[in-house]
Amino acid sequence: MSKRNAWKLSLLITLLSSALLIAQAPRSATTPRSEKSKAMTTAEVEKMTAEVLTQVSEIRGLKLLHPVKSGAKSRAEIEQMVIKNFDEETTPAELDAEYKTLLAFGLAPKGFKYRDFLIKLLTEQIAGFYDPKKKEFNLADWNPLELQKTVMAHELTHALQDQHFDLTRFDKWPKGDSDRESAIHALIEGDATALMIDYLMKPMGRSVTQIPKTLLDQMNAQTSAPGMDVINSAPNAIRESLIFPYSYGMGFAYQLLKDKGWEGVSQAYSNLPQSSEQILHYEKYAAKEMPIKIELADLSGPLSKGWKRVKFDINGEFGYYLALVEYISKDAARKASEGWGGDQFALYENATQTKTTLAHLSVWDTEADAEEFFSAYNERTAKRYPQVKPNSTAKQFVYTTPDGVTLIEARGKNVLVLEGAAAAGVKAVAAKCWESKIS
Ligand SMILES: [Zn+2]
């Protein structure tokens, strides 16, 4: 799954508009988007930064330890920064492997210009961002004035987080662990988004914890962002994984707040969430339900000469939800991805870079959970390849598709899926996968 490190860039997507609506209710009128303020100068940004920092520090209960450098940036400057940051984070080979993984899962169209699209998406209506490396806050100077302080409240929370919990320690996250990385991003963004909403509600004497949980759930169910054309045109899996840290992260922070207040949110930085499952189900975080580690066996032997592994990672509950919901109903996808215990996937590519084989092995809390996921993945595959009739037994489905063989097999609490495999070698590859280490 694609897991862009969006927290440094702070897209402030869907929730920003939702937050404004909540904070302004019952006042229904919002300033039309076209009424932009004139560009702010750095001096004005500095003054406003100091003012908002004081308020944010008070609400969040975190002292300002050092002043925060700030400035106004033009669209061109911000775009340059975004591109630089993007290229520093991902090599072209990594990006290519990421895109091919999306293709193998059937989550992006063939011929999709992945890098161009991501850059466009990351720069669309970016409102401002805090850079933990430079300890500096940059405000986009083209947004309407009403948004500026809101954006600042969010971004300056990142500055306070950085001063107290050191955000740079998450910069170089180990490869192949992006479910945990997303969970941490969700804490960081959820914290800043909840604070931003609190900041907006404060003048009315209300606070974020007074928002009914059902309303939050409705916000999470939104899969598009009003007025954001690029993100709305993104393939669903890309869009939803970008929104995840804000929407579900906010839900997570909300639960922490209800449970233990802002102090509880602060404590989560020394007791980090470990999986998207813990973000989606707060009770699993509270109960410290840890993911089970899977190390997929090396498949380069059975795949034959020239094939090599180009990517490995963890889907997590949320990644599996995205994979399923692409083809089956939301309800079914949600139910089937619940009960996730752990997984690992690996993408292999042949020497001419024309073919890939994707393997993913997962473990579920109970055999019934594994069974449910097995059936849902089968339903998904049948929808993805409606022309193909599978060879099936009770515990195994084999589809011979135009993209290669898809094999889905359940054994006890485990489910193995191979996609794009060559018909000749599929049995040997599957047998090797079953030798994987599950701890
Ligand atoms: Zn943010």
Q: What is the DSSP letter of 291?
A: P
Structure tokens that stand for 420 in this block? 């794009």
Place of tokens 């975004």: 82
Nearest-angstrom CA–CA distance, 357 and 361: 13
Last residue within a domain, chosen from 286, 312, 336: 286
8 Cα to the center of ligand 1, angstroms = 7
Q: What is the DSSP string of 367-381?
A: HHHHHHHHHHHHHHH
Enumerate the H helices of 294-433 as residue ranges: 300-303, 316-325, 330-337, 367-384, 426-433
Output the pLDDT for position 171.
Answer: 83
Output the pLDDT for position 28.
Answer: 31
Last residue within a domain, chosen from 243, 267, 286: 286
Neighbours of 63 (CB within 10 A): 10
Asked if residue 1 is part of any domain, the answer here is no
Q: Residue 71: enclosing H or E segment and its boundaries? A: strand 69-73
Residues 242 and 306 both lie in one domain? no
Asked if residue 327 is part of any domain, the answer here is yes
Nearest-angstrom CA–CA distance, 266 and 90: 30
Q: What is the value of pTM for the model shown?
A: 0.91
190 Cα to the center of ligand 1, angstroms = 8
Nearest-angstrom CA–CA distance, 256 and 186: 13
Domain carrying residue 423:
294-438
Asked if residue 201 is part of any domain, the answer here is yes
Residues 233 and 318 both lie in one domain? no
Residues 136 and 182 both lie in one domain? yes
Residues 416 and 281 both lie in one domain? no
Residues 201 and 96 both lie in one domain? yes
Output the pLDDT for position 12.
Answer: 45
Asked if residue 145 is part of any domain, the answer here is yes
243 Cα to the center of ligand 1, angstroms = 11
191 Cα to the center of ligand 1, angstroms = 9
Q: Cβ-count burial of 437 within 10 angstroms (0-12 exposed, 13-18 middle, 19+ buried)?
A: exposed
Asked if residue 269 is part of any domain, the answer here is yes
Structure tokens that stand for 38 in this block? 């004139």
100 Cα to the center of ligand 1, angstroms = 28
Output the pLDDT for position 13.
Answer: 42
Residues 141 and 69 both lie in one domain? yes
As averages over each run of 10 residues, the pLDDT of the chain (439 residues) reads: 40 45 39 49 86 96 94 85 84 93 95 89 77 86 74 93 94 90 95 93 91 81 70 87 89 96 98 97 96 97 92 97 97 98 97 95 98 98 97 95 97 97 94 95
Nearest-angstrom CA–CA distance, 432 and 230: 42
Neighbouring residues of the ion ligand 1, judged by CB less than 5 Å: 10, 189, 192
Are the CB atoms for 31 and 249 separated by under 8 Å? no
Residues 245 and 323 both lie in one domain? no
Domain count, the chain: 2
Residues 255 and 373 both lie in one domain? no
Last residue within a domain, chosen from 238, 256, 286: 286
Q: What is the DSSP string of 349-369?
A: E-TTS--EEEEEEEEESSHHH
Residues 379 and 275 both lie in one domain? no
CATH code, 351: 3.40.1000.70
Residues 374 and 265 both lie in one domain? no
Asked if residue 176 is part of any domain, the answer here is yes
Structure tokens that stand for 216 in this block? 């939050």
Residues 199 and 300 both lie in one domain? no
11 Cα to the center of ligand 1, angstroms = 7
